[in-house]
Amino acid sequence: MSTLSNKRIIVGISGGIAAYKSAEIVRRLQDAGAEVRVVMTSSAEEFIRPLTLQALSGHPVHADLLDPEAEAGMGHIELARWADLLLIAPATADFIASMVHGRANSLLNAIILATPAIVAVAPAMNQGMWSHPATTDNMAMLAKRQVRIFGPDSGVQACGDVGPGRMQQPEQIVEQVAGCFAGQQLSGKKLVITAGPTREAIDPVRYISNHSSGKMGYALAQAAAEAGAQVTLVSGPVNLEAPERCNLVRVISAADMLSATMDACTDADILIAAAAVADYRPVTVATQKIKKHAEAINLELEKNPDIVSAASTAYSDLFVVGFAAETQDIESYARDKLQRKNLDAIIANDVSRSDVGFNSDNNEAWWITATASKVFSIRSKTQLARDIVDAIADQLKA
């Protein structure tokens, strides 16, 4: 189930060029399961027409603070009470200043003052305006008031300037909105996740590895932390920032990962083995760089340790979730692995596809247990990670 299922969200639009992105935000929020209402300032209507937002949201767009029809119906106070979250996107420099000073000269400003909901802003302005001390002070005041701040990004701006101030992309904003509602379904649980590839040395400069980016494992670590778990992330070499609120243990080889994982699982409740561990490693590792003299060389390989099997055998109370990266007969091979390795659940995906799997930001997967299976259709790895965490929580309750 989507993180935003049954959530009520107001999208407030102030008058900036980034308002054209607001339509996509509304659509993506609805795709994620949210019920959306739109409130616009008068200047926002100069950039995007209310009819567009009405067609997307399926509800009338609210704009006038003194609209008699609105006051006879929901009214600005009722609208403020209706929401679970109020997102202002774009939030211009002027509108942010009006928030800081508590002005109520527009319907959107009045709702901000009246709502008990979470309030979030997605700033959008020229890089000079963003860097001005007045804006810096205003953003600090919003943060002090527990307003969530999404972005901004840096890059080429509508005016031609380059720098910070661009509103984030709709998909980024929607993912952060979802993060505001993350449940605590794994509160009190200790969870270990392995992620990324391993590197098996041939000599001091060469190694055997694979194409794993680590994105799925890192997304799972973030989702588990959002769900209240105490997370240890055992990661092979990747080019990703460490997830917040996670204990990151960096490793290189499969042997390193085995040792770190077994140590971390000593008092853990759950293991998610998302790493793409190299199946084989060289029997001997040259101490010096192998020179390119011969036309061919023979490399003798031996099996690497099976980390997930070792953990499931050593810790009988551990809830163990494995991964099966396959290129054919996905579910069949995954079920075989589930049984052979004594797993509680397995997540299988097709890594032969270029639109999902290795190095992609999206994924499609099967969730398989001994008695059931279901398909998570293609979605962002961030959303898939949240869905997997929900599935684990449900399984633990069963």
- Active-site positions? 159
The Cα–Cα gap between 19 and 22 comes to 5
Alpha-carbon gap, residue 123 to 36, rounded angstroms? 20
Tokens representing 153 are 């990004």
User: Read out DSSP for 269-287?
Assistant: SEEEE--B--SEEESS--S
Going by C-beta distance under 8 Å and a sequence separation of 6 or more, which residues neighbour residue 55? none
Query: CB under 8 Å to 247, separation ≥6 — which residues?
Result: 230, 231, 232, 233
H or E segment and range at residue 90: strand 85-91
Contacts of 43 (CB under 8 A, 6+ apart): 14, 15
Pairing of strands 280-282, 301-303: antiparallel
